[in-house]
Amino acid sequence: MQYDVILPAAGSGKRMGAGKNKLFLELLNKPILAHTLTVFQDDQACRAIYLAIKSSEKTEIEELLARYSISKVVAMPVGGDERQYSVNACVKQIRAADVVLVHDAARPFIQQETIHKLMQKAATHGAAIAGVRAKDTMKRVSNGIIEGTVNREDLWMIQTPQAFNFELLRRAQQQAEKDGFLGTDESMLVERLGEVVCMVESDYENVKITTKEDLLFGEAILNRRRG
Ligand code: C5P
């Protein structure tokens, strides 16, 4: 079976403080965006890539696609002010699909095994998201005062990819747009329709490159994987 992937890449990466889109920063001499694209380019189960971009970065991204031989990008819509809107811009480009994955372009260390687990789960259950178990003790805090300790057993830290039956994702995005609802991930949009979303255990290496420390961590991961 095959899937299509939506990669939102239209952020500004303010928390990185690089003065440009963090996705152009390099890990072992290759831009973060190119690392992420390569994962899907190399995965035979991936049929097409929908990439949300900033209009001002179109030329730079086209050059990057050519340089790293990325041929699966079929549409590059201009993203929105919020990540959800960037994803929606891609959803609107898709005519027909079975399973669609949404994956942050800023998570270049995603493993194929996780992608395929998500694809299978979404094909049978409609929706499945990647995440890891919370490692630390979790507390609810109000105005700097501890209110209580939350049972960690039930808590997961959510990542991308998030995989969906395409019609479900489209319906969830359309409803959110109609209601003016802004969520922090696609799962929230599906959850509010009352639909089931499955949890797939991923790994702690699937980090979102957000701050400078993540670049050091990222290079260490790549060096180890290259042996
Ligand atoms: O900023 P953050 O790293 O949380 O964004 C997650 C992903 O969503 C990144 O790949 C970023 O480029 C993308 N994004 C987007 N449109 C936005 C904001 C973020 O495509 N308006």
Report the chain's mean pLDDT, rounded to a whole number: 97
Residue 182: per-residue pLDDT: 98
pLDDT digits (tens, 9 = 90+) for 194-213: 999 999 999 999 999 999 99
- The reply to whether ligand 1 has any atom less than 6 angstroms from the CB of 10 is yes
The residue whose two tokens read 């949890």 is 199
Output phi, psi for 201, to 5 deg.
-75, 125
- CA–centroid distance, 146 to ligand 1, in Å, is 32
- Does 87 sit in the ligand 1 pocket, CB within 6 Å? no
**Parent domain of 87:** 3-226
Ligand 1 closest atom vs CA 208: 3
Q: Is the dihedral of CA 111, 174, 180, 123 positive or negative?
A: negative
Residue range 48-73: mean pLDDT, rounded = 98
Residue nearest to atom 19 of ligand 1 (CA): 11
Q: pTM value? A: 0.97
Ligand 1 centroid to residue 12 C-alpha, Å: 7
Query: What is the structure's pLDDT at 14?
Result: 87
pLDDT of residue 201: 98
Atom of ligand 1 nearest to the CA of 53: 20
User: Mean of the pLDDT values across residues 26-32?
Assistant: 97
Structure tokens belonging to residue 148: 């209580």
pLDDT at 117: 98
With a 6 Å cutoff on the Cβ, whether 208 touches ligand 1 is yes
Domain of 115: which CATH number? Answer: 3.90.550.10
Whether 124 shows a pLDDT value over 90: the answer reads: yes
In this predicted model, which residue has the larger pLDDT, 19 or 125? 125
- How far, in Å, from the CA of 147 to the mean position of ligand 1? 32
Task: State which H helix or E strand residue 48 sits in.
Answer: strand 46-52
80 Cβ closer than 6 Å to some ligand 1 atom: yes
Which residues, including other chains, have CB under 8 Å from residue 148's CB and lie 6 or more apart?
139, 140
Instruction: Tally DSSP H helices, then E strands, for the chain.
Output: 7, 11
Cβ–ligand 1 contact at 186 (below 6 Å): no
Q: How many domains does the chain fold into?
A: 1
Does 13 score more than 90 pLDDT? no
The pLDDT assigned to 85 comes to: 98
Q: How far is the CA of 24 from the centre of ligand 1 (A)?
A: 13
Of the candidates 54, 10, 62, the residue with the CA atom closest to the CA atom of residue 34: 62
Which ipTM value was assigned to this complex?
Answer: 0.99
**How far away, in angstroms, is 209 Cα from ligand 1 center?**
10
The dihedral through the CA atoms of 157, 161, 162, 163 has a sign that is negative
For residue 60, give Cα distances in angstroms to 11, 31, 35, 95, 218. Answer: 15, 11, 15, 27, 23
